[in-house]
Amino acid sequence: MRYFLIVLAGVSLSLSGCENPKHSSESSSITSHNETVGQVDASTVLAKENEAAAKTDFKPFYVYSDVGSRDNHYVPSGFMPNGECLTFTDKHALGCYADKTCIKIDYDVECSRFNQKWAGIYWLNPPNNWGNKKGGFDLTGASKLTFWAKGEKGGEQIQEVTIGGITGNYPDSDTAVIGPIILTDQWKKYTIDLRGKDLSYISGGFAWTTSEDVNPSSCVFYIDEIRFE
């Protein structure tokens, strides 16, 4: 654990339902939309969002769109604290919000109780970049990051979702955090407000953290359509 406290110093991580012991005071408010796949066709929603984005100078910039997509710009390579209690796939193909695949994360709570008691994943550019090499993107013009998520049963908690925050020799230009998030068993859209943030250099495109404290029995959840707008 000492290693990650050193590496991630300055990175504020903590998710709702799954929590990082380091909680940031720099949290933005959570905006959620209640559209579900059963109520609104995903392709219709995305088409309307893309139409709205086309009226601005900033085009949608994906962290994750679909497995193997050329639109994906960050890699889920930062497993925290060591990845031992996580099962991850970005090619889950059942009941996804949009396209053919989505992300499925299984946080093993029992395993975590005997380890560091928390877990998370950072989507980084380039892979495994904790600020020790050049990378990242200039996302100036983006006003928000949006993503869709749901829990397997409902009630799963992500303690924090973080944008940016990587330190080191090549630090991110800013950070934004929301949380906690309590998931339902239906797809819901969440928004991180990026207005006023310096997005000129972002190598930590997206991260979530959680802990066994807020997930007493199990924590399986799904994420799709992570993108800057």
Give the bridge partners for 88, in sequence order: 105
Which residue from 161, 154, 172 is spatially nearest to 226, judged by alpha carbons? 161
Q: What is the pLDDT of residue 11?
A: 37
Q: How far apart are CA 156 and CA 159, in angstroms?
A: 10
Confidence (pLDDT) at 146: 98
**pLDDT value of position 6:** 32
Q: Please report, for the chain, the start and end positions of each structural domain, with discontinuous segments joined by +.
A: 2-228
Segment 223-228 shows an average pLDDT of 98
pTM equals: 0.78
The confidence score (pLDDT) of residue 25 equals 37
Q: What integer pLDDT is reported at residue 152 of this predicted model? A: 97
- The answer, yes or no, to whether residue 215 has pLDDT greater than 90, is yes
At residue 116, the pLDDT reads 85
Which stretch of 13-17, 104-108, 224-228 has the lowest confidence by average pLDDT?
A: 13-17
Residue 16 has pLDDT above 80, yes or no: no
Q: What is the mean pLDDT of the chain?
A: 84
2-228 is classed CATH 2.60.120.430: yes
CA dist list (Å): 120 to 17, 94, 159, 206: 12, 23, 10, 11
What pLDDT is recorded for position 154? Answer: 96
Using one digit for the tens of pLDDT, what is the confidence trace for 35-81?
Answer: 444 445 666 766 666 665 555 689 999 999 999 999 999 999 999 99
Q: Which pLDDT score, from 0 to 100, does residue 33 have? A: 43
Taking every pair of C-alpha atoms in the chain, what is the biggest distance, in angstroms? 51
Which residues are registered as beta bridge partners of 106? Answer: 87, 220
Per-residue pLDDT reduced to its tens digit, 147-193: 999 999 999 999 999 999 999 999 999 999 999 999 999 999 999 99
**pLDDT, greater one: 20 or 90:** 90
CA nearest to 36, candidates 96, 111, 78: 96
Instruction: Write the Ramachandran bin of 155: left for phi over 0, alpha for psi from -120 to 50, otherwise beta.
Output: left
